[in-house]
Amino acid sequence: MKELTHYIDGAHVKGTSGRFADVFNPATGEVQAKCPLGNNDELNKAVEAAAAAQPAWAATNPQRRARVMMKFVALLNRDMDKLAEALSAEHGKTFPDAKGDVQRGLEVVEYCIGAPELLKGEYTDSAGPGIDMYSMKQPLGVSAGITPFNFPAMIPMWMFAPALACGNAFILKPSERDPSVPLMLAELMEEAGLPKGLLQVVNGDKEAVDAILDHPVIQSVGFVGSTPIAEYIYSRGCANGKRVQCFGGAKNHMIIMPDADMDQAADALIGAGYGAAGERCMAISVAVPVGDEAADRLIEKLVPRIEKLKVGPYTAGDDVDYGPVVTGAAKEKILGLVQSGIDQGAELVVDGRDFQLQGYEDGFFVGPHLFDKVTPDMDIYKQEIFGPVLSTVRAGSYEEAIGLAMDHEMGNGTAIFTRDGDAARDFANRINIGMVGVNVPIPVPLAYHTFGGWKKSMFGDLNQHGPDAFKFYTRTKTVTSRWPSGIKEGGEFNFKAMD
């Protein structure tokens, strides 16, 4: 049995707590590795090494820090297939999807190469008589990130790349379900020239999380995961005086207007609803067709597409549409929510409950499901399923449709499919959701814009990546200076009586 490690002060370090988590092969259901669960002592060692290394890194000019990011990008491209292979083996997502996971993280690293420009301050000369003022963006010191299983490459890079580019040290606590890629990323960062001790990986569960939240040296914490844990981390971290950004769950609606290209809308829903087995915080899990005629046409288009989906392990080739979910517990939760939808009166149009993959009967595969006539009081509507389950909620009008999305407690992403520019513009302006797609099903912003939801999908003031990341990982210091006059006239050679 492979035993994984922490990565502390530039070296792989065996766990000392005596506690481990199973790392599964989701396709077979077999345990393929043991992940050490860190304790307070291990975190303290990581923080101590990070705090010792950070001042010299902060004093390194931003251009030199950016050169490390440039080399890191080259190494990510070099090892893309190797990283994707390790990611697929532990997470279960398809090989092309795993490469996309790495690529979207890489793009944020590319943005961080612009650190010299992004860290420039402001200057005002002659703010008063002989007075100049200027501001500096300075690193926080030691930052930390707690990242989820569903994007084990992308989200760690969304956090540690801008944190390091700003001159901080970083403690990463990745998901214990698929920890190998974060460890590989730490190695690649040091190969790129990052001094030892600046990027630490401490694996763990709640004990490690609480140690991060309570540690007085750690100045900021980023988190991505479920809403209840996001609320917990935000409240405890803020109570300890830390800067905290937490991104929680989602229930993303896609509005389909009667004038939409129904083939385009159906194709979009297939990718956005079932890609990565639905284990995405930006997955579309609720389709909202406007009017029964549009709903009937949409269902008619969706059913044959769903029935043709190819579900299998990543080793089965690039034409696999999605793989298993991450654990057996995740599978049971999904199927439990499917049953609740049936019990509460939703119409199960495509039933994937009996899905079995020959040769992989013990794997965590979940067949695709499609519900129609879902209502807002049902659990499958209220809860984030995080599986290959698409719910259709029929709306009688555009106002009813937009109201569904606006009234839901989560507000991560949403989309509208229409040919009407006025409807699209009104939707984008009025919707109380952080990321909006117009004929785009998964509106994840590119690296130079920011990523973040509203309502109970996000806790904090600043979003991930883009300009907000450089605000989150720095403090602004403003200097007001005045120099005494007369020095520039030079010295006096005549003896002068004291005034």
- Identify the CATH number of the domain in which residue 463 sits: 3.40.605.10
CB–CB of 443/253 below 8 Å?
no
State pLDDT tens for residues 145-160.
999 999 999 999 999 9
The domain that contains 277 carries what CATH number? Answer: 3.40.309.10
pLDDT given at position 493: 63
Identify the residue whose tokens are 């766990």: 15
pLDDT given at position 363: 97
- Do 61 and 145 reside in the same domain of the chain? yes
Domain count, the chain: 2
pLDDT given at position 128: 87
- Do 229 and 262 reside in the same domain of the chain? no
- Do 212 and 342 reside in the same domain of the chain? no
The answer to the question of residue 489 being in a domain is no
State pLDDT tens for residues 296-325.
999 999 999 999 999 999 999 999 999 999
CB–CB of 163/193 below 8 Å?
no
Confidence of residue 185 (pLDDT cuts 50, 70, 90): very high
CB–CB of 243/219 below 8 Å?
yes
Q: What percent of the chain has pLDDT over 70?
A: 97
The answer to the question of residue 26 being in a domain is yes
* pLDDT above 70: residue 378: yes
Contacts of 65 (CB under 8 A, 6+ apart): 57, 115, 164, 165, 167
Q: CA-CA distance, 169 to 139, in Å (whole number)?
A: 9
State pLDDT tens for residues 250-260.
999 999 999 99
pLDDT given at position 483: 87
pLDDT given at position 485: 73
Is 35 an active-site residue?
no
Confidence of residue 1 (pLDDT cuts 50, 70, 90): confident
- Do 240 and 294 reside in the same domain of the chain? no
The answer to the question of residue 499 being in a domain is no
* pLDDT above 60: residue 498: no
- Do 308 and 243 reside in the same domain of the chain? no
The answer to the question of residue 64 being in a domain is yes
State pLDDT tens for residues 314-357.
999 999 999 999 999 999 999 999 999 999 999 999 999 999 99
- Do 143 and 227 reside in the same domain of the chain? yes
Which residues form the domain of 10?
A: 2-248+457-481
pLDDT given at position 330: 97
The answer to the question of residue 161 being in a domain is yes
Q: CA-CA distance, 410 to 430, in Å (whole number)?
A: 16
Query: Among 35, 112, 166, 281, which one carries the catalytic annotation?
Result: 281
**Averaged pLDDT score across all residues of the chain:** 96
The answer to the question of residue 308 being in a domain is yes
- Do 157 and 120 reside in the same domain of the chain? yes
- Do 88 and 186 reside in the same domain of the chain? yes
Confidence of residue 130 (pLDDT cuts 50, 70, 90): confident
Domain end call among 403, 438, 473: 438
The answer to the question of residue 341 being in a domain is yes
State pLDDT tens for residues 54-107.
999 999 999 999 999 999 999 999 999 999 999 999 999 999 999 999 999 999
